[in-house]
Structure 1
Amino acid sequence: MKSQEMLENIQNLIQNCQWREAQKLIDEYRKTAFNHSYTDMVEIFQATIYMNDKEYDKAEKSILDGLRANITNYELYFMLGNLKEIYENKAQALFAYENAVFYCHNEDKEFLEEHLINYKQENSQELPGKVALLLTACHNFDYLKLCIDSIRSSNLEDSYEIILTNYAALPGERDWLKAQRDIIYLENVNPKNQFTIYNDGINAALESSDIFLLHTETVIMPNTIFNMRMCLYEDHKTGAAGSVTNLFDAQRADEVFQNMEQYVNYSSKNNIYDSKRHELCSRLLNFSILYKRTILNKIGCFDESFEDTQYVIDDMNLRLIQEGYRLQLCHDSFIYCFGLTKMDDNKTAEAAKPVLSDADRFFEKWGIDIKACSKIREDFIDIINKGEKEAFQILEIGCGMGATLLKIKDKYRASNVFGIELKKEEAMLGASLLNIESMDIEDMNLNYSKNFFDYILLGDLLEHFHKPEKILVYLRGFLKKNGIILAGIHNLQNQSVLLPLLKGDFTYKDNGILDRRHIKFFTKNEIIKLFKSCDYTMLDLYAKTEQLDKNTEELLNKLCSIDNSIDAESIRVVQYLVEAAKH
């Protein structure tokens, strides 16, 4: 029997409610040599059977599998809308029905449009409004037009509004902008800063519109905004959603390519809605963020006292977290970035230089270093050796707001993560996201059971302790047998310390090896002695080295030639990462 004939038979069986016979034929179809053709249609039939049997989780999986085969199949979006109605998530149902209309280009479009209109009318009091995309005209007008075209070509016309400001637009460009019927064009004269403009944009948007801050040197891909909206309305606690991109490590896409065309192809496979790819996080970058309007109405607009874009976004997001809402990073939403051009100071209002820097002002307001306390230790995560579905316990000492723990929890969903943070401000914010307590580990009063943890992460803390050996012995009691401790320790033997010391200099700094907060210093040999004396078995000692210039290399080689016992490689190591076990 040919594949098309089998599909027609499956459809007839379903229409006649012969569910078991249809399932048997689907199972037979999947085993055939042509099982990769018409996959989206097979998943439509499979999802229909699951929905009839009220196996809704399986139905959703089939729908998403069908979209992976054909991202433009409007029937699958319509079914997803039906499913979300069953789950009583009316907002997500709306977005799915809008996508069904957007992707439909045949005689079914009239039915889908009428269904969408009726659905909106019947649920008007419970549905979110449009998405208001707040753009600022950038220095490269061609990029701006590309951005606008990408919004128009990937979203249903009635589902969004574009709000544009003009701080960098030239006269001819302004004429073009004014001629666009689907753009609300705000001509702000000498705005104080970018966020005066954004706040004006929020006020210009429809009262029901969610707010999408989008840098204009970007290209929106199909389903990017759809998936971010689906994420934003997964529950009432999600307050903001961000996307992945090609440009920034903190929110980089899973794969790396050489040009935009390759990323366009990548997005057609990546941008399939999948709630399992939405990651709870402590920080989102500023190039694309979607905010729920009802929450912005509650916590207020952007703080205009900051100048730098990221500090303003960080401030908004901390206010959101403080109120008990969540930030989500959508790995199923890719946006291509050309780059982020900052505002041209010559085109904004003249302003006196602030007495405080943005970093100082942010610390004064929040009491935290946002970059430090939201840093993710990917090097630690890479060492964890557990199955993705395996349950285990992990404790991080000095966890900040819990960025590393959130990443671990996202990768290992069955893990139980706990955090200890000395700084009360960071711990309070992190406690909104995870099980984080504020305490001084040197007080040695942990409230956990003995032999409880599979992993304990120590970050770069051992140099900060008065008696690091006492801390290591104490923590050993909380590790299970064969439990592992991970610790980052700077190397005092590094050339950046050694060479200045030969000239009589030993100058403390704000961070790094000679951090002025360090109480203890270590070399490779002393690290090994320390862990051995505390009854740990050293599993590995990973070295983070640095690239040296030619003159420094030559000088080090001459020094090492004086005594063959000198370990030349250790001089190049900036930091060691210890992996040690309790046996």
Structure 2
Amino acid sequence: MGFKQKMEYLISNGNYTEAKETISLYEELMESEPEFYSIKAVLAIIENDLEAAEAELLKGLEIDPKYSDILYNLAYVYKLRKQHLESIDYYTQAYLNTKSEEIKSLIVEGLDEVQEDILSFAIKPSAQPLVSIVVLAYNKLQYTKLCVNSILKYTRNIDYELILVNNGSTDETLNFFNSIPYAKVVDLKENAGIVNGFNAGIMAATGKYTAAVCNDLIFTPRWMDNLLTCIESDESIGFVSSGATNISNNQLISGPFNNLKEMLEFSEEYNRSNPRKWEERVRLIPCVLMVRTELLQRLEGFDPAFYYGEFADDDLSFRIRRCGYKLIYCKDTFTFHFGSVTSREAQVNNNSLGVSRQIFSNIYDLDAWEDASFDYQLMDALNHNVRLDQDAKILAINAKCGGNPLQLKNMLKELGQERITVTNYFIDLKYETDLHTVSDHVINGSNYGLANPETNEKFNYIILEDNEVVLVENSKLMDELIRVMDENCHIALKFVTDHGSDTEEKIGAIKSELELLGFNFLYEDRSFLNTLRENMVFLVGERQVS
């Protein structure tokens, strides 16, 4: 009788002591066999030592990550421990890796039991819930289940309604939605597109806040608690969103995890509400589009002109901000994003990114990326030797829609700086409207007249974005900067210079001018803009006198 047959015989007959002795005898011989750890785990499960069972199964997975018995048993352990999403994850992996129809049948039973357990978390919303959570799905049922189940699991002690929008799915999405207790199901018979699909759910919302999400996200412990804490802290906050994996706009949060279980453990530790990590932004990518419902419905949700979905969030960011509300990125909140499950096909087949970017430009005479973003490395370099005993006074010159000075303000706030003012000086009138939404003071000038009554103060942070002709040949500009510089001052320059033989000479002239004023350079970088035959140059300097 082989080891496996002997262990099955002993365990089935309740001879656990002899089973343990047999394991000890085979320890060295079988330590490289994943089956050995699976059997050890079964014995631990029988003895209700689930922690030991998990440890043995994880050892076996290190030997063979596709061993179906181990995957199945691990799913079973997590089911017993009420770790529902982890259980579903491992049951699914086991199903994909087993050839046994009997095991597949047991897996389906296990999945049904876990799903039933998760559905017990569903709550009946009040007549006027605090939050309406809108989930949009078009097929991709496996992702949709993880998304909805994570909402049910981790949205606790909050009065919310769940609005599930089936965007013309041809799989079992509608049946799944109909199985969720108390959910409000919006069934669109045909795929109406991302924008129209979301709008159908948004217009059905009755909560004080609406949180609209795609089906390619997994939500995490305290995700909604944190977002509510932020948006309810200030009536002027109109739109908040979390960070995530696989996301742009400097909203990426990554961690040391390799699977769903480790991801949830990471989020359990990470998701601690911290107002210092709330960043005001010019534009937000909505991992979660959480907006005051009255405002969102007054704006009629997303603009249908952005049919594919891309840049509809940028457009909505601009409209919300121009209504007088702040956009806040909640860097204290992590969610898991698979990445473009909803929009990937349109990006590949229809150049939806390029088409939508042009639509945005046509509406605003602005480029959402170039005019409304910020340079993280440049601002991070400015965030050096911060003096918390001084008020932070930021002067930004030609900062487009104000992304760079706003991000510097965020970074200083996270360090503990409490008194921060932002003054934006601009020449191009197309930026005026947006600068007023993110600045304490806004000054328009046809030329550089910084030392006037409106700026009759000293600034300890100066950000200048222009071209090298202005910096090198405009002596008046440098005189004006000298007049408004505090003796302790940081300066960041972002400018375009022709890609020619005299490039280094031009950069050197600018550096020499600042060195004469007592500046030390902390950061220097440049990137070649191939299409324009130009260099983008970044310089950051610091002067500390006292």
Place the TM-score, normalised by the shorter chain, in its bin.
Answer: 0.5 to 0.7
Contact kept in structure 2, 1:231 and 1:330, CA below 8 Å: yes
Work out the CA distance in 2 between the residues paired with 1:414 and 1:240: 24
- Counterpart residue number, 1:370: 368
Q: Does 1:142 align with 2:142?
A: yes
Contact kept in structure 2, 1:486 and 1:578, CA below 8 Å: yes
Contact kept in structure 1, 2:132 and 2:207, CA below 8 Å: no
Distance 1:536 1:229, change over 3 A: same
Residue 582 (structure 1) shift: 9.6
Distance 1:466 1:253, change over 3 A: closer
Work out the CA distance in 2 between the residues paired with 1:483 and 1:365: 38
Contact kept in structure 2, 1:542 and 1:576, CA below 8 Å: yes
1:462-501 alignment runs, 5 A limit: 462-463=468-469, 467-490=473-496, 492=498
Contact kept in structure 1, 2:165 and 2:200, CA below 8 Å: no
- Counterpart residue number, 2:96: none
- Counterpart residue number, 1:359: 357
Work out the CA distance in 1 between the residues paired with 2:497 and 2:523: 12
Distance 1:372 1:168, change over 3 A: same
Distance 1:310 1:233, change over 3 A: farther
Residues 44-81 of structure 1: CA deviation (Å, up to 9, x unaligned): xxxxxxxxxxxxxxxxxxxxxxxxxxxxxxxxxxxxxx
Letter in 2 for 1:195: V
Residue 270 (structure 1) shift: 2.3
Letter in 1 for 2:255: V
Work out the CA distance in 2 between the residues paired with 1:433 and 1:530: 29
Contact kept in structure 1, 2:490 and 2:540, CA below 8 Å: no
Residue 176 (structure 1) shift: 2.8
- Counterpart residue number, 2:379: 381
Letter in 1 for 2:503: T
SS of the residue corresponding to residue 256 of structure 1 reads: coil
Work out the CA distance in 1 between the residues paired with 2:233 and 2:256: 31
Work out the CA distance in 1 between the residues paired with 2:460 and 2:134: 46
- Counterpart residue number, 1:73: none
Work out the CA distance in 2 between the residues paired with 1:530 and 1:313: 39
- Counterpart residue number, 2:437: 432
- Counterpart residue number, 2:392: 392
Letter in 2 for 1:472: M
Distance 1:406 1:320, change over 3 A: same
1:78-477 alignment runs, 5 A limit: 129-156=129-156, 159-167=159-167, 169-205=169-205, 207-252=206-251, 256-259=255-258, 260-343=260-343, 357-384=355-382, 385-388=385-388, 390-412=390-412, 413-440=418-445, 442-447=447-452, 448-449=454-455, 452-463=458-469, 467-477=473-483
Residue 580 (structure 1) shift: 6.4
Letter in 1 for 2:508: I
Work out the CA distance in 1 between the residues paired with 2:324 and 2:312: 19
Residue 251 (structure 1) shift: 4.4
Work out the CA distance in 2 between the residues paired with 1:582 and 1:527: 23
Residue 211 (structure 1) shift: 1.3
Residue 264 (structure 1) shift: 1.8
Work out the CA distance in 1 between the residues paired with 2:480 and 2:345: 54
- Counterpart residue number, 1:86: none
Contact kept in structure 2, 1:168 and 1:344, CA below 8 Å: no
- Counterpart residue number, 1:4: none
Distance 1:578 1:158, change over 3 A: closer
- Counterpart residue number, 2:88: none
Please identify, of 213-222 and 164-173, the stretch whose mean Cα deviation from structure 2 is larger: 164-173
Contact kept in structure 1, 2:245 and 2:253, CA below 8 Å: no
Work out the CA distance in 2 between the residues paired with 1:247 and 1:344: 13
- Counterpart residue number, 2:41: none
Aligned with 2:503 (options 487, 505, 523): 523
Letter in 2 for 1:432: T
Contact kept in structure 2, 1:479 and 1:582, CA below 8 Å: no
Work out the CA distance in 2 between the residues paired with 1:363 and 1:526: 33
SS of the residue corresponding to residue 172 of structure 2 reads: helix
- Counterpart residue number, 2:39: none
Letter in 1 for 2:218: V
Residue 574 (structure 1) shift: 6.0
Contact kept in structure 1, 2:245 and 2:336, CA below 8 Å: yes
Corresponding pairs, count: 406
Contact kept in structure 2, 1:132 and 1:211, CA below 8 Å: yes
SS of the residue corresponding to residue 437 of structure 2 reads: coil
SS of the residue corresponding to residue 458 of structure 1 reads: strand
Distance 1:255 1:301, change over 3 A: closer
Residue 457 (structure 1) shift: 1.0
Query: Aligned Cα RMSD in Å?
Result: 3.6
Letter in 1 for 2:509: K
Work out the CA distance in 2 between the residues paired with 1:459 and 1:400: 8
Contact kept in structure 2, 1:397 and 1:441, CA below 8 Å: no
SS of the residue corresponding to residue 360 of structure 2 reads: helix
Please identify, of 386-395 and 219-228, the stretch whose mean Cα deviation from structure 2 is larger: 386-395
Contact kept in structure 1, 2:448 and 2:476, CA below 8 Å: no
Distance 1:410 1:172, change over 3 A: closer
Residues 217-255 of structure 1: CA deviation (Å, up to 9, x unaligned): 111111101111121111221111110112235344666
Letter in 2 for 1:225: M
Work out the CA distance in 2 between the residues paired with 1:425 and 1:321: 16
Residue 537 (structure 1) shift: 4.2
Residue 581 (structure 1) shift: 4.9
Aligned with 2:525 (options 526, 530, 544): 544
Contact kept in structure 1, 2:216 and 2:338, CA below 8 Å: yes
Residue 446 (structure 1) shift: 4.8
Contact kept in structure 1, 2:496 and 2:534, CA below 8 Å: no
Contact kept in structure 2, 1:130 and 1:208, CA below 8 Å: yes
Residue 200 (structure 1) shift: 1.2
Work out the CA distance in 2 between the residues paired with 1:421 and 1:572: 23
Please identify, of 442-451 and 366-375, the stretch whose mean Cα deviation from structure 2 is larger: 442-451
Residues 193-218 of structure 1: CA deviation (Å, up to 9, x unaligned): 2111111112233x335211112111
Residue 450 (structure 1) shift: 5.5
Distance 1:388 1:282, change over 3 A: farther
Residue 257 (structure 1) shift: 2.4
SS of the residue corresponding to residue 239 of structure 1 reads: strand
Contact kept in structure 2, 1:374 and 1:401, CA below 8 Å: yes
Gaps of 5+ in 1: 1-112, 499-521, 548-570
SS of the residue corresponding to residue 321 of structure 1 reads: helix
Please identify, of 237-246 and 292-301, the stretch whose mean Cα deviation from structure 2 is larger: 292-301
Normalized against structure 1, the TM-score is what? 0.61
Residue 130 (structure 1) shift: 3.5
Residue 295 (structure 1) shift: 1.7
Work out the CA distance in 2 between the residues paired with 1:360 and 1:233: 35
Aligned with 2:537 (options 568, 572, 575): 575
Residue 375 (structure 1) shift: 1.5
Residue 324 (structure 1) shift: 1.0
Normalized against structure 2, the TM-score is what? 0.65
Distance 1:130 1:327, change over 3 A: same
Contact kept in structure 1, 2:401 and 2:431, CA below 8 Å: yes
SS of the residue corresponding to residue 166 of structure 1 reads: strand
